[in-house]
C-alpha cells in the first residue's frame, strides 16, 4: 500500500480537519474572477491530472463558452500506479475545495461537483458539511462517485458522470470546455488555493508537484517535490532502490520508460526526448532482473481490458497490440513481430474519442525503444533481464 | 480548411465512407475508416468537398462531420 512520505511537506501533511486547515492556511482572500485567472496565468499553473494543460486557458475558455458553467474537482485517479490524489483528499481536502470555490468564482459557475472514488466519499461528505457550517463554500458542492475504472477520470468521462450519464469518454468535436464544463484535477485546485494566498511569484519559485513512487523501492510513497527534481531524489524519498534498477516508468500507464539515470530531471523538457512527461507524477522503478517487455505486456493487457468499448480502433486495436507484445515478451517470435507492434501503435493513435489508444501506444513504443536490446534477445529466444532461455 | 471529423463513439465500420471517399479513406484491419494522410482529422481537398459532403450525409451512424477548425 502506498503511503505518504514522512518528510515534511505542504500538500501531504495534515489531518484533513477544518481546524487544522484554518490554523495553517487561514481563509481564502477575497479575489474576483479576473484576479483568479490572472494568478493562475502568472503562476504558470498546469493541470496535474496528466495532460499538463495551462489552467488559466481552460478557465478563460469555460467563462467564454456562453453556457452556464459547471466546475468539477476531479479526484477519480483511475491510474493504478497513482495514489497522490487519494492522499491529498485525505490530508488536505480543504485546499482542494478552496481551489474549487476559486475556479467557480473565476468562471461564474452555477454548480460545483466533487468527483471521487466511493471509498473516499464518506470522509469527504463530512468535510463538505464542516465547510458549509463555517461558510466556506458559497457555491454548494455535490459529491459524485467516480467508478473504479481507468478511463473514469478522463475529462469528458468525468463531465458525463456528474451529468448523470455513464463515466465514459465522449467525442471531442465540441471540446469539454466549450460545453461550459471545467474539469480540474484535485491537485491542481490545491495549488491554486495556495497561489491565491501566497501569490504567483511564490509559486514560481517554490511550487511543487506530487509524485507516486513505487516498484523496486523500499517504501512506496507519495512524495512532494519541485519540477526538475532528479529522478534519484524521488526514488530516495521513497526509501531508495531495493535492487539495481534497469529502467523507470514515468507518467504512469500512459507514460514512457526512461533509462534508470538517477540524475535525469523530472520535467517536461528533460523527459520529452524519451516520449515521456511528468504526467500525473507516477514513477515506477523496474529492477534489473525484471523483464521490461513482460512488465509492459502486463500493463498493455490491463489497458486493453479497460477499453470503454465505444471506439472500434481502440476496442480491436488495443487487445491486438497487447497480444502481439505478449508474444514478444513470452519469446514466441514470428517474422516481422516488432514491426507489427509499431504498425499497430501507429494504427490506433488518434483514433478514439479519448487518448486511451494514444497513451497505450506511447507506452508500448517507449518499451520497444528502452528495452531494444531485449527485443533482439527475445526474438532469438532469450531474455537478457531474467537470464531466461527457451 | 475543411476537415473530416469521425465520431468514433458512433462509427460502426459500415464502410460506406471508405467507398464514397476512397481518395481520402482506406479501411483498417477491422473495416473502420483510416485517413490515408495518417491524420486524426484529415483535411478535405477542394476537389473532394462534394464527395466528402456526400459521405457525411450517407453515413448510417451519423458518425461523420465536416468541421472548419485547423486542428
Sketch out chain B's domains with CATH numbers.
3-67 (3.30.70.20)
The position carrying cell 480540474 is: A184
Quote the ipTM score. 0.95
pTM, full prediction: 0.94
Spans of all domains in chain A: 3-206, 209-287, 292-379
In this structure, which CATH number among 3.10.20.600, 3.40.50.2000, 1.25.40.10, 2.60.40.1930 belongs to the domain A209-287? 3.10.20.600
For A173, the closest chain B residue by CA position comes to B5
Instruction: Check CB contact under 8 Å for A347 and B28.
Output: yes
- Region of A72 (left: φ > 0; alpha: ψ -120 to 50; beta: rest) is beta
Distance CA A87, CA A20 (A): 16
Domain A292-379 in CATH 3.30.830.10 = no
A residues 291-350 closer than 8 Å to B (CB): 310-314, 316-317, 320, 346-347, 349-350
| Domain made up of A3-206: CATH architecture | 3-Layer(aba) Sandwich (3.40)
- Is A145 within 8 Å of A118 (Cβ atoms)? yes
Chain B hits for A313, Cβ within 8 Å: 8, 28, 30, 32
- Spatial CB neighbours of A237, under 8 Å, sequence gap ≥ 6: A5, A7, A213, A221, A223, A225
Chain A hits for B13, Cβ within 8 Å: 312
How close is the nearest chain B Cα to the Cα of A228, in Å?
31
- Is A126 within 8 Å of A134 (Cβ atoms)? no
Instruction: Check CB contact under 8 Å for B30 and A316.
Output: yes
User: How crowded is residue A260: how many other Cβ atoms within 10 Å of its Cβ?
Assistant: 21
Measured in whole angstroms, how far is the alpha carbon of residue A184 from the centre of its chain?
A: 11
Optimal mutation site among B4, B9, B18, B63, interface A, most CBs of chain A within 10 A = B9
For A170, the closest chain B residue by CA position comes to B9
Instruction: Check CB contact under 8 Å for B8 and A351.
Output: yes
Instruction: Check CB contact under 8 Å for A351 and B7.
Output: no
Chain A hits for B32, Cβ within 8 Å: 312-313, 316, 351
Tens digit of pLDDT at every position of chain A (390 positions): 344 444 446 899 889 999 999 999 999 999 999 999 999 999 999 999 988 899 999 999 999 999 999 999 999 999 999 999 999 999 999 999 999 999 999 999 999 999 999 999 999 999 999 999 999 999 999 999 999 999 999 999 999 999 999 999 999 999 999 999 999 999 999 999 999 999 999 999 988 999 999 999 999 999 999 989 999 999 999 999 999 999 999 999 999 999 999 999 999 999 999 888 999 999 999 999 999 999 999 999 999 999 999 999 999 999 999 999 999 999 998 889 999 999 999 999 999 999 999 999 999 999 999 999 999 999 999 999 998 655
Q: How do the residues of chain A divide into helix, strand and coil, expressed in percent and rounded to 5?
A: 50, 15, 35
Instruction: Check CB contact under 8 Å for B32 and A173.
Output: no
Q: Is A170 on the interface with B (CB under 8 A)?
A: yes
Amino acid at each position: 500500500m502506498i503511503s505518504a512520505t514522512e518528510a515534511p511537506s505542504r500538500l501531504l501533511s495534515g489531518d484533513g480537519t477544518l481546524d487544522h486547515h484554518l490554523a495553517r492556511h487561514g481563509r481564502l482572500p477575497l479575489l474576483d474572477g479576473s484576479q483568479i485567472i490572472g494568478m493562475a496565468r502568472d503562476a504558470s499553473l498546469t493541470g496535474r491530472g496528466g495532460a499538463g494543460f495551462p489552467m488559466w486557458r481552460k478557465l478563460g475558455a469555460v467563462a467564454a463558452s456562453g453556457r452556464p458553467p459547471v466546475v468539477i474537482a476531479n479526484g477519480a485517479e483511475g491510474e493504478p500506479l497513482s495514489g497522490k490524489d487519494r492522499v491529498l483528499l485525505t490530508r488536505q481536502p480543504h485546499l482542494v475545495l478552496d481551489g474549487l470555490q476559486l475556479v467557480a468564482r473565476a468562471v461564474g459557475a452555477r454548480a460545483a461537483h466533487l468527483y471521487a472514488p466511493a471509498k473516499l466519499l464518506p470522509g469527504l461528505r463530512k468535510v463538505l458539511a464542516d465547510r458549509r457550517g463555517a461558510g466556506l463554500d458559497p457555491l454548494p458542492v455535490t459529491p459524485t462517485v467516480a467508478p473504479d475504472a481507468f478511463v473514469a477520470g478522463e475529462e469528458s468521462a468525468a463531465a458525463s458522470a456528474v451529468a448523470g450519464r455513464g463515466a465514459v469518454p465522449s467525442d471531442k468535436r465540441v471540446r469539454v470546455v466549450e460545453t461550459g464544463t471545467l474539469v480540474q484535477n484535485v491537485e491542481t485546485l490545491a495549488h491554486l488555493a495556495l497561489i491565491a494566498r501566497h501569490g504567483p511569484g511564490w509559486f514560481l519559485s517554490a511550487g511543487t508537484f506530487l509524485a507516486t513512487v513505487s516498484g523496486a523501492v523500499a517504501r512506496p510513497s507519495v512524495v512532494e517535490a519541485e519540477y526538475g527534481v532528479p529522478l534519484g531524489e524521488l526514488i530516495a524519498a521513497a526509501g531508495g532502490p531495493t535492487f539495481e534498477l534497469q529502467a523507470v516508468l514515468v507518467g504512469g500507464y500512459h507514460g514512457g520508460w526512461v533509462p534508470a539515470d538517477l540524475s535525469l530531471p523530472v520535467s517536461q523538457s528533460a523527459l520529452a526526448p524519451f516520449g515521456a512527461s511528468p504526467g500525473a507524477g507516477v514513477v515506477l522503478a523496474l529492477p534489473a532482473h525484471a523483464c521490461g517487455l513482460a512488465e509492459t505486456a502486463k500493463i498493455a493487457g490491463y489497458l486493453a481490458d479497460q477499453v470503454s468499448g465505444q471506439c472500434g480502433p481502440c476496442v480491436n486495436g488495443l487487445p491486438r497490440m497487447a497480444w502481439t507484445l505478449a508474444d514478444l515478451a513470452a519469446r514466441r517470435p514470428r517474422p516481422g513481430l516488432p514491426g507489427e507492434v509499431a504498425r499497430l501503435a501507429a494504427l490506433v493513435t488518434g483514433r478514439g474519442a479519448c487518448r486511451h489508444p494514444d497513451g497505450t501506444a506511447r507506452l508500448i513504443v517507449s518499451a520497444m525503444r528502452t528495452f531494444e536490446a531485449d527485443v533482439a534477445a527475445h526474438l532469438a529466444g532469450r531474455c537478457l533481464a531474467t537470464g531466461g532461455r527457451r | 480548411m475543411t476537415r473530416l471529423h469521425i465520431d468514433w463513439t458512433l462509427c460502426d465500420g459500415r464502410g460506406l465512407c471508405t467507398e464514397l471517399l476512397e481518395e481520402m479513406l482506406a479501411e483498417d484491419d477491422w473495416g473502420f475508416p483510416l485517413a490515408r494522410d495518417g491524420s486524426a482529422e484529415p483535411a478535405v481537398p477542394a476537389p473532394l468537398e462534394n464527395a466528402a459532403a456526400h459521405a457525411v450525409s450517407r453515413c448510417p451512424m451519423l458518425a461523420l462531420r465536416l468541421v472548419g477548425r485547423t486542428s
